[in-house]
Amino acid sequence: MVRFMLGSHGHIPLGLGDEMFEREYSGTLKPFISALYQYPKIPAALHYSGALLQRLERLHPELFMLIGDLVSRKQVELLGGGFYEPILSLLPFSDRIGQIELMTTYIRKQFGRRPQGCYLSGLAWEPQLTGPLQACGMKYTFLEEPGLDVFGRRSAGEIIGKNLSIAEDQGKTIAVFSVSRTLSSAFAEFRGADALARLCASSQEGLVCVFPEWFFPDSSGEFSEPRFHRFFEELSAFESQIEFTQPGKVFRTHRFFNKTYIPGSLDLSLREGLIACPEANNIYAKMMLTHVLINQFRGDKSRKRTAREELWKAQGCESFTPSISPKIDGMEQPEVRKSAYKALLSAEKLTRESGGFTPSLLYFDFDFDGQVEYLFQGELINCYIQPEGAEVFELDYLPRAWNYLDTFNPGFRRMAFADYLVSRAFPEETFGENPESIRQAGRNCGIERFELLKIDKDHNKIAFRLPSKPEIPQGNIEIEKTCCLKKEVFQVHYALYNAGTRPEDFWFVPSIDLAFPGEGGAFVRLLEQAPKILVFQDLKNETLLSLAGDRSFEARIFSIRAKGRYQSTCILPIQPVELAPGETFQTEFCLKIQTEDAGVFPAEALQLS
């Protein structure tokens, strides 16, 4: 007889609003649980992330109580895992343990049962997860082997078969159930009855486990609840031919296990995603840095615990990985990224002792690319700079826990103070009509590596130099670029030198991206536009952002969108430059971020040096 396990998995990322949650609730969660409740002979294993369960508890306590009833009558087994749906293999060891224990404690307190097994986000596996899972009391987990038959084994590492398998690493073991991708897809399309009929006709014995991912509304336009009732009605027809069971029962009654080496299942694609998507890698790197800051924090244990829980909120799988679910791609969702940064910056603030923090300039390989990055850490602002382009790639305003460079653009990373030397043949009035064309209109300094000239830690200042490259347009120009952070002001001084033998005539255009909460008058307003200053009002964060220069500039302002979503606002301050051989042009910009109650930042108040 075939033993059959039905599983269900659900998660809504932090940051996505109630509309997304209610769509998932009415389309899948409520109809599935309500229908399951009416078929007590069909057990199920449920893995709903801790973040989703908390939301259900708060917004729909009636369904939360219904899940509790299903657990009490042993029809549902709740599975553990990471509370905020992290990819555990990408987390430091202590965070893996913490996420699992937080989930375990929540399930035990709310439902009176400690989970014995766990579900891994995206079914992403690495052998070294065995130790942490066992240390947290997890006896079994679930993995997916694509392209396999329901029964039988074709090569090493394929774990679908008559027996439960055991994974081992460093003397630690955990049992592994195989999830059938083929059958999970069939059940998601409500073709499960046909699949079960074929299994019964095969006269084979074995264990089948499915975790369908349902989508609503479906192509038929039919409401989901009637379909789930029919779904369970069809399953009930196989009661005499199939043993419906749960993982805990199988584990307790199973006598013999096959020890199997199971290589990392999704590790390659996940880590390739971090390489391919700098925005994802930045969140990952920020997570690792925040983990270190929390571990180094000494003093208030309660504060440290709160900081760690904020860190865990940012570790959801959608925060720093490509899409592992057809429903949600976290990188394309500004709300998801901003929720992650908010949690990370809130955690960072908690690690700073009140009155004991000293601004600093750090330099180390922040994003794990083999190159040193430079991190200004001020009382109010963090400003991270990479040597390529000497550009700012993270700009945090800590009082609002907001990264103003949290933006996304496939194929072209958005920055602040990414510099262009644009031919005067490129008409000034066309700037902004085609934002990408500026990169082909002259010298794109943002893709050139600047040399480090000097680090002045005492004055929180760093200087870079871009040498001339006579073989490219505007290549005779050398640039010295000095960056300094002073409280609420990030200051950039430029010295452009003509090292060639002929005059140079071009537009100097620093490109500055600012990621506001949204576009339009409900989110951001341009309060002032004068020859030497721009002032923006961020209505959601109640802040003012001022870009001021010591010379007049023409400004082009336009929105950057990706996959139909607003990502950031690009500002191009344009200055004409004419340089004779051996001549130098100097200019300076200051970007100030402050709360609204501080008043508008006037250009005349600039202290330029």
Q: How far is Cα 147 from Cα 162, in angstroms, rounded to an integer?
A: 17
Q: Which residues contact 28 (CB under 8 A, 6 or more apart)?
A: 10, 214, 216, 224
Among 4-18, 30-44, 303-317, 334-348, which stretch is predicted with the lowest mean pLDDT?
4-18
Q: Which residues contact 110 (CB under 8 A, 6 or more apart)?
A: 53, 57, 64, 68
Q: Which two tokens stand for residue 444?
A: 């794109």
Could you identify the residue written with the tokens 């990373």?
413
Question: Residue 149: pLDDT band by 50, 70, 90 thresholds?
Answer: very low
Tell me what the mean pLDDT of segment 349-358 comes to: 82
Q: Checking DSSP bridges between strand 451-456 and strand 44-48, what pairing results, if any?
A: unpaired
Domains parsed from the chain with CATH numbers: 2-265 (3.20.110.20), 267-357 (no CATH), 369-605 (2.70.98.10)
Q: How far is Cα 44 from Cα 47, in angstroms, rounded to an integer?
A: 10
Tell me what the mean pLDDT of segment 343-371 comes to: 91
Tell me what the mean pLDDT of segment 585-599 comes to: 90
Tell me what the mean pLDDT of segment 251-260 comes to: 78
In which element (H, E) is residue 360 found?
strand 360-364
pLDDT at 468 exceeding the cut of 70 = yes
Could you identify the residue written with the tokens 């300039």?
361
Q: Which residues contact 85 (CB under 8 A, 6 or more apart)?
A: 11, 13, 49, 51, 121, 316, 317, 318
User: pTM to 2 decimals?
Assistant: 0.91
Residue type (1 letter), 154? R
Q: How far is Cα 211 from Cα 121, in angstroms, rounded to an integer?
A: 12
Residue type (1 letter), 407? T
Tell me what the mean pLDDT of segment 110-128 comes to: 92
Q: Could you count the other beta carbons within 10 Å of the beta carbon of residue 19?
A: 8
Mean pLDDT of the chain: 87
**Is the pLDDT higher at 365 or at 411?**
365
Tell me what the mean pLDDT of segment 504-529 comes to: 95
Q: How far is Cα 472 from Cα 373, in angstroms, rounded to an integer?
A: 27
Tell me what the mean pLDDT of segment 551-573 comes to: 92
pLDDT value at position 269?
64
DSSP 8-state symbol, 57: H
pLDDT at 433 exceeding the cut of 50 = yes
Residue type (1 letter), 538? D
DSSP 8-state symbol, 116: S
Strand extents, DSSP E, 24-150 = 44-48, 76-78, 140-144
Percent of the chain at pLDDT exceeding 90: 63
Percent of the chain at pLDDT exceeding 70: 88
